[in-house]
Amino acid sequence: MNGFVWGLIVGLAAGLLIAIAALIGVWWERKVAAKIQMRLGPQEAGPAGLLQTLADTIKLVLKEDITPNQADEPIFRFAPFLVFVPCAAALAVVPFATGWAPFNIASSALFFLAVPALSVIGILLAGWSSRNTYASIGGVRGAAQMISYELPRTLSVLSLCLLAGSISTVGIRDAWRWWWIPLTAVGFLVYFIASIAELNRGPFDLPEAESELVAGYFADYSGIRWAIFMMVEYGGMVAASLFGAALFFGGGLGLPGALGAVVFVILACTLATVMIWVKWTFPRMRPDQLMGLAWKVLTPMALVQLLVVGAVIAWL
Amino acid sequence: MTGFEQLQTRLAELSPKLYPLFSEEFGDAVIGVERSQLIETAEELRALGFDRLGMVTAIDRQEWFTLVYRVASRSLSAAVFLKTRVPREDAHLDSLCGVWPAANWQEREVFDLFGIVFDGHPDLRRILLPEDWVGYPLRKDYEDDRIIRRPDYI
Amino acid sequence: MALVDRIGAGLESLGGGIILTTVDSLVGWSRGQSLWAFPMGTACCAMELIAASFNKFDFDRLGTFPRPDPRHTDVMIIAGTITEKMKPAVSRLYEQMPDPKWVIAMGNCAVSGGIFYYDSYSVVRGADSFLPVDVFIAGCPPRPESLQDGVLQLRELVRTESIAPGKRRERTLNLPQAPVAHTGSTIAEGSGEVE
Amino acid sequence: MTLQIESRTPALDDAGHPVEELVLNVGPSHPSTHGVGRMIVHLDGDVVVKVTPVIGYLHRGIEKMAENRTYLQIVPLTDRLDYVGSMYANWAYCRAVERLAGIRVPERAEYLRVIVCELQRIASHMMSIGSSAADTGAFSMFIYTFDVREGVVELFENLCGSRLTYNYVRPGGVSKDVPEGWTDDVLAFTGSLGPRLDELDRLFFGNTITRGRLKGVGVLSPEDAVAWGASGPAVRGSGVNWDLRQHRAYSVYPRMEFDVVVGERGDAYDRARVRLLECYESAKIIEQCIAQMRAGAIMTEGLPRLLAPPVGEAYDHIESARGSLGVYLVSDGSERPYRMKVRSPAFCNLALLPLLAVGHTLPDLVVILGSLDPVFGEVDR
């Protein structure tokens, strides 16, 4: 029972965190994109446009919630939550502080890698139930992409597990040493690229490719349900950044109390900003190139990383 | 020697068949043919190196339509207008898609706006106007209550 | 009935008053601040619509940015000439937008047919003949500043709208095509002021 | 008029079984159709089996309208044809009128026409490259190229007071002489253009993803390009040296030194890059024009306000940013043309789309359409 209450609290906190992350993340993305594009970005709502996303959110919540006539109504209405829940669940095992995660389970690294991948079901269902050609193509693309990038992402984290001798996120973070950074640099790169691809963000935003599929799998969603899809994107970005900062960079491990937390947050924010930067710089890939990248480049890279780490451990 | 005379002398050498059809109208080289001989002439021109069909259009001359094809040649660095007439009541002629593929869309446009039928065209449908449009707007006698005539300011 | 309509009707049945006006102002603020545009760019004006959202003029400052999917947008900016062939597509895209939705007619063509008013057999003379237009922007094409001013004017309209069903602003179609005063292109072009 | 999609007998696979095709309607309002184009795409999996372009969503009947306007009143109509490059349609039309009426244009006006048209070429190509980039998802690149275009638009605004529809080239000359200091502004612009274009070149064409997306996509053979009447960068990208500025050498182009840029493979990459490299050549031409231009009249003296050319027919064409843009005028001796026909390069280039797209995937289709650079004002007229 205790665990259930705690789970409820963590769930609510995760939802809140994702909402806040989306509120700030969208604003930050618009500002960074504006900077890249020699613009100013949101300015009018609140100081420096900080309240812009709040206005957008209120507006979206109050918009008409359209279910197209030919759509499969129950699935169509439920699919956004199927995407949201795995994303929120992933936050439960992020090692926020030394030796502490909201849920410190033994195989939490595996949990973190496996559970967000479940949102592929939501994406597929959203695309399919819309009965819209664009949405269907987007959904199928999303499924193929997310399943393919699962492998390099898992392999890259596996080398950390090997180094730490643990498959718990807390265990990895506590065992972290600074010389892991140069040793797992390739692994981090693979993890980072695969995470962007998992989140369907540019340059891998094929499922929602604006210039081809208009909006992809959420083409027929409006109002609050569409806002949930947007929130998931930013929530996933936050989870991937926090996880990367904690595991690959130690997340301010060993620094005293508050300073460690600040360093952790700064590291995570930097990673998120780099994701935004990448999105607004690169063109989009083609589906076949995307698959080629996953299977021909990233997976071998992650395997080599694993071998190198194994050799180092054997040598030590 | 003007460009026209140059072209004339070269055509006299290269194609005695086309030479008699050749004339000058308003400074341009023109080959005027009967509509039955259009494809034949077009193939002859194509063989001479006129490989680019630039423009296909029609002019509504009340009793008949004048079809104007502008073909150009890079090797001869010359251009001629191929002209033919079709009577208004019997507005059809052979399609030149087989000679120059470029004629495809341009003939569709002429069909769409003038109602001239191109026999043997692979895909003769309206191109600019909706499929269910009535009438051929570029004909001089086209009537449409959507049109508001411009008052004469001049 | 959408959620907001239920709230509005409920508050109105309570007699309106301070709660309704407060909710109204909050909703009006948020809607006015985030007028996402559906760029119905058909002709020349589309270029100025692009220019307005790009770096020199930057629509994003006003919280407006173009999204290509009608389901995610609030205001349809009709930028350019609408022809008889295009008209069904425009009205269908308008239908696909979720409520509440607004329409801006940008440029003389969308206002009245503009330079194509006379002699054309295929141009629809004004978007208000089949869509309820909220803001008209004259010009052939209007400058990006004019468009942004049009969006600001729409924001004022949106702000003063109430969510209570009884206090809705009526929007009408200009169905019979009344002749609209036509400015010659040489006068209109480049002047770009919004009346 | 409905938005229904035609039915079609299904294609067969190698074993003779019918392939279940996915029919996708793209447009008429779609972010990548550059306006109001529409394509009906038949997909087998992700591969395009057949494309049917549907055009005419912007058909305003300008050719019919011209029959009820005087020769001078048609100039503003031609602005609205190719709204990305209004100067070209102005000029092509004016050349046809001048040919019909036998008007000689003062030399300074010819120089001014060449300057504005080359500036327009830079602006139009920037728009084209930018929208191609946006089609591949590099949206920031669109903004960078558009920024270059804004520079040209500002120059035009100083010259003729309008940002988009200029109405500048008139039968007999140009409407206004340059304002004070304008040529210096132009020189400053062309001077700064080189480094900016270099940067765009590195950013976009040097990018691995861009190369992967554009190279080998939509290959157009030189034979097909000529036979299908393609022109402009679409034909030059395939390695065909066909540029009216050199081959017809109209106006003052014979006095200019510039190279015709040609591609090698004829794919989307070459077509886009030909456009970028042409901008360098345009800058060269502009600088030469300004150096050679002398003071003088900008409009033919003694032109009647109401032109009534003698009975005749005239065709003239110029090299616009999209290819050879021609205007065919028929006069019956009155003050209004009997018939005006615009030979639109974008229309002819777009006819290539069904040929190029088959066998490619859906994302490539968008790239191919962008590389043909259709402007629907000109396609549909």
The domains found in chain D, sorted by start residue, are: 62-356 (1.10.645.10)
Please spell the DSSP secondary structure of D319-337, one letter per residue: EETTEEEEEEEEE-SSSSE
Q: What is the mean pLDDT of chain C?
A: 79
Tally the C-alpha atoms within 13 A of residue D212's C-alpha that lie toward its C-beta.
15
Q: What angle do CA D307, D312, D317 make, to 5 degrees?
A: 85
Distance from the C88 Cα atom to the nearest Cα atom in chain B, whole angstroms: 11
Phi, psi dihedral angles at C41 (to 5 degrees): -80, 110
DSSP-H helix ranges across chain D = 62-66, 74-79, 86-101, 107-136, 139-160, 182-200, 208-214, 222-227, 233-236, 244-247, 268-292, 345-350, 353-357, 362-372, 376-380
> What backbone phi and psi angles, to 5 degrees, belong to D78?
-65, -25
**Residue A39 is nearest to which of C29, C55, C63, comparing CB atoms?**
C55
What is the CB-side half-sphere exposure of residue D348 using CA atoms within 13 A? 30
Tell me, what's the pLDDT at B3? 62
CA distance B21 to D282: 41
- Measure the CA–CA gap between B7 and B11, rounded to whole angstroms: 6
DSSP for residue D299: B
**CA-nearest residue of chain C to A31?**
C60
What residues in A contact C96, CB-CB < 8 Å? 66
Q: Is the peptide bond before A203 cis (omega within 30 degrees of 0)?
A: yes
Pairing of strands B64-73, B52-61: antiparallel
In the prediction, which pLDDT does A250 show? 77
Q: Does D164 touch chain C (CB under 8 A)?
A: yes
pLDDT band at A236 (very low <50, low <70, confident <90, very high): confident
Q: What is the 3-state secondary structure (H, E, C) of D103-139?
A: CCCCHHHHHHHHHHHHHHHHHHHHHHHHHHHHHHCCH
Specify the pLDDT at position B31: 84
Given an 8 Å threshold on Cβ–Cβ distance, is A212 in contact with D138? no
Distance from CA of A136 to the nearest CA of D (A): 11
CA distance A132 to chain D (A): 10
- Given CATH 3.40.630.30, say whether it is the number of domain B3-119: no
Position A259 pLDDT exceeds 60 = yes
- The total of structural domains in chain A comes to 1
Indicate yes or no: CB of D65 within 8 angstroms of CB of C47.
no
Q: Do D165 and C121 touch (CB under 8 A)?
A: no
Asked if pLDDT for residue D133 goes beyond 60, the answer is: yes
Query: Percent of chain A, pLDDT > 90?
Result: 1
Task: Give the total residue count for chain D.
Answer: 381
pTM of the model: 0.86
Closest Cα in chain C, distance from residue D67 (Å): 9
Identify the closest residue of chain B to C177 by CA–CA distance.
B146
Task: Select from B2, C119, B72, B57 the least CA-distant residue to D327.
Answer: B57
Spatial contact of A169 and A112, defined as CB atoms under 8 Å apart: yes
From D24, which residue of chain A is nearest by alpha-carbon distance? A133
Q: How far is A39 from chain D (nearest CA, A)?
A: 10
Per the DSSP assignment, residues forming a β-bridge with D315 are D328
> What ipTM does this complex have?
0.85
Provide the 3-class DSSP secondary structure of residue C113.
coil
Give the separation between CA D43 and CA C122, rounded to whole angstroms.
33
CA torsion, points C63, C64, C66, C71, in degrees to nearest 10? 90
- Supply D274's token pair: 């030909």
Query: With a cut of 50, which residues of chain B have pLDDT below it?
Result: 1
Q: Do C2 and A210 touch (CB under 8 A)?
A: no
With helix as H, strand as E and coil as C, how does chain A read?
CHHHHHHHHHHHHHHHHHHHHHHHHHHHHHHHHHHHCCCCCCCCCCHHHCCHHHHHHHHHHCCCCCCCCCCCHHHHHHHHHHHHHHHHHHHHHCCCECCECCCCCCCHHHHHHHCHHHHHHHHHHHHHHCCCHHHHHHHHHHHHHHHHHHHHHHHHHHHHHHHHCCCCHHHHHHCCCCCHHHHCHHHHHHHHHHHHHHCCCCCCCHHHCHHHHCCHHHCCCCHHHHHHHHHHHHHHHHHHHHHHHHHHCCCCCCCCHHHHHHHHHHHHHHHHHHHHHHHCCCCCCCHHHHHHHHHHHHHHHHHHHHHHHHHHHHHC
D48 with D31: CB under 8 angstroms? no
Chain D hits for A206, Cβ within 8 Å: 363
Whole-angstrom distance, CA of residue A68 vs CA of residue A134: 14
Q: What is the pLDDT of residues D155-189, one digit of tens each?
A: 998 888 888 888 888 888 888 888 888 888 899 99
Q: What is d(CA C130, CA C114) in angstroms, rounded to the nearest whole number?
A: 16
Q: 């409006």: which residue's tokens? A: A222
Looking at residue C44, the DSSP 8-state letter turns out to be T
Total number of residues shown for chain A: 316
Q: Find the domain containing A152 and state its range.
A: 2-315
Per-residue pLDDT tens for A150-200? 889 888 888 888 888 888 888 887 788 878 888 888 888 999 999 888 888
Which chain C residue has its CA at the smallest distance from A220's CA?
C71
- Report the sign of the C-alpha dihedral through residues D328, D92, D242, B10, in that order: positive
Helix (H, G, I), strand (E, B) or coil at C75: strand
A253, pLDDT greater than 60: yes
* Structure token digits, residue C20: 């309704």
Question: Is any Cβ of chain C less than 8 angstroms from the Cβ of D15?
Answer: no
Interatomic CA distance for residues D317 and D321, integer angstroms: 12
Produce one character per residue of A8-21: b if its CB has 16 or more CB atoms within 10 Å, e if not. eebbeebbebbeeb
Q: Give the domain C3-168+180-188 fold.
A: Rossmann fold (3.40.50)
Nearest CB among C41, C51, C186 relative to D35 is that of C41
Q: What does the pLDDT read at residue A175? A: 81
Of residues D61, D313, D348, nearest to B102 (C-beta): D348
Closest CB from D61, D127, D164 relative to C141 = D164
Render pLDDT for D252-266 as a digit per residue (tens, 0 to 9): 888 888 888 888 888
Q: Which residues from chain D sit within 8 angstroms of residue C140, using beta carbons? A: 165
**Nearest chain D residue to C190, by CA:** D162
Distance from CA of D55 to the nearest CA of C (A): 10
- In this complex, the residue of D242, D315, D338 whose CB is nearest that of residue B28 is D315
User: Is the pLDDT at D7 greater than 70, yes or no?
Assistant: no
Residues of C with CB below 8 A from A31's CB?
Answer: none
Look at B70 and D313 and tell me if their CB atoms are within 8 Å.
Answer: no
**Residue B48: closest CA among B25, B68, B78:** B78
Q: Is D38 exposed, middle or buried, given 0-12, 13-18 or 19+ CB atoms closer than 10 A?
A: buried
D189: nearest Cα among D125, D282, D93:
D282
Contacts of B57 in chain D (CB under 8 A): 328, 341, 343
CA distance B87 to chain D (A): 18
Chain D residues lying within 8 Å of A210, measured CB to CB: 31, 137
Q: Does D381 touch chain B (CB under 8 A)?
A: yes
Predicted confidence (pLDDT) per residue in C132-189, tens digit? 888 889 888 888 888 888 888 888 888 887 777 666 666 666 554 444 444 433 333 3
Strand extents, DSSP E, chain C: 37-41, 75-79, 102-106, 135-137
Name subunits touching C (3+ CB pairs < 8 A): A, B, D
pLDDT, one tens digit per residue, over A195-214 is: 888 888 878 888 777 777 77
Residue in D closest to C121 by C-alpha: D61
Query: Whole-angstrom Cα distance, residue C182 to residue C164?
Result: 38
In chain A, what residues touch D143 (CB-CB under 8 Å)? 37-39
Q: Do D31 and A280 touch (CB under 8 A)?
A: no
Please give the interface size between A and C, counted as residue pairs whose CB atoms are below 8 Å apart.
97
Q: Provide the residue ranges of all domains of chain B, joining segments of one domain with +.
A: 3-119
Listed residue (A277, A198, A283, A189) closest to A235, CA to CA: A198
Q: Where are the alpha helices (DSSP H) in D35-106?
A: 62-66, 74-79, 86-101
Q: What percent of chain C has pLDDT over 90?
A: 0
Which is nearest to D241 in space by CA: D315, D355, D319? D319
Residue D180, min C-alpha distance to chain B (Å): 34
* pLDDT interval class at D4 (50, 70, 90): very low
- A229–chain C Cβ distance below 8 A for any pair: no
What is the C-alpha to C-alpha distance for residues C13 and C99, in angstroms, rounded to an integer?
A: 22
Hey, CA dihedral for C46, C48, C52, C56, is it positive or negative?
positive
Chain A closest-CA separation from residue D60 CA (Å)? 27
Among chain A residues, the shortest Cα distance to D30 is held by A214
- The nearest CA of chain D is from the CA of A193 a distance in Å of 14
Q: Under an 8 A CB cutoff, do C119 and B147 touch? A: yes
In 3D space, the residue among A277, A227, A296 whose CA is nearest the CA of residue A29 turns out to be: A277
Residue C176: predicted pLDDT: 47
- Strand-strand pairing, B78-87 and C135-137: unpaired
Which of the two residues, A245 and C17, has the higher pLDDT score? A245
Touching check for A288 and chain C: CB below 8 Å?
no
The set of residues, in sequence order, having a beta carbon less than 8 Å from that of C172 and lying 6+ positions away, is: C132
Phi and psi (nearest 5°) for A115? Answer: -70, -45
Interface chains of chain A (3 or more CB pairs under 8 Å): C, D
CB of C27 within 8 Å of a chain A CB? The answer is: yes
Looking at residue D6, what is its pLDDT? Answer: 46
Q: Are A246 and A94 in contact (CB under 8 A)?
A: yes
| pLDDT tens digit sequence for D346-376 | 888 888 888 888 888 888 888 888 888 888 8
CB contact under 8 A, D161 and C190: yes
Nearest Cβ partner of D140 from A134, A281, A285?
A: A281
Cα D5 from Cα D41, distance rounded (Å): 10
For D134, half-sphere exposure in the C-beta direction (CA atoms, 13 angstrom radius) is 26
Q: Give first-to-last CA distance, chain D, whole Å.
A: 19
Nearest by Cα to D228 from C15, A25, B97, B46: B97
Residues of B numbered 72-131 whose beta carbons fall under 8 angstroms of chain C's beta carbons: which are they?
A: 129-130
Judge whether C57 and A36 are in contact, CB under 8 Å. Answer: no
Which of A103-107, C69-73, C178-182 has the largest mean confidence?
Answer: C69-73
Contacts of C89 in chain D (CB under 8 A): 3, 28-29, 57
Encode pLDDT of D189-213 as tens digits: 998 998 999 988 988 888 888 888 8
Write down the domain spans for chain C: 3-168+180-188
Tell me the average pLDDT across A71-84: 86
Q: Which of A60-64, C178-182, D29-33, D74-78 has the lowest mean pLDDT?
A: C178-182
Contact (CB<8Å) C85/B130: yes
Report the b/e string of C129-157 with b at 16+ CB within 10 A: bbbebbbbbbbbbbbbebbbbbbbbbbee
Q: pLDDT tens for residues D12-69?
A: 666 666 667 788 888 788 887 777 888 888 888 788 888 888 888 888 888 888 888 8
**Residue in this structure with the two tokens 């070269």, named with its chain if needed:** B10
Contact D137 A209 (CB under 8 A): yes
- Kindly state whether C85 is in contact with chain B, defined as any CB-CB distance less than 8 angstroms: yes
CB contact under 8 A, D229 and B137: no
Q: Cα–Cα–Cα angle for D218, D223, D229, nearest 5°?
A: 85
Best of C112, C119, C122 to mutate (most B CBs within 10 Å, chain B): C122
Q: Summarize the confidence of residues C32-45 as an average pLDDT.
A: 87
C22 touches chain A (CB under 8 A): no
User: How many Å apart are CA A291 and CA A172, to the nearest integer?
Assistant: 30
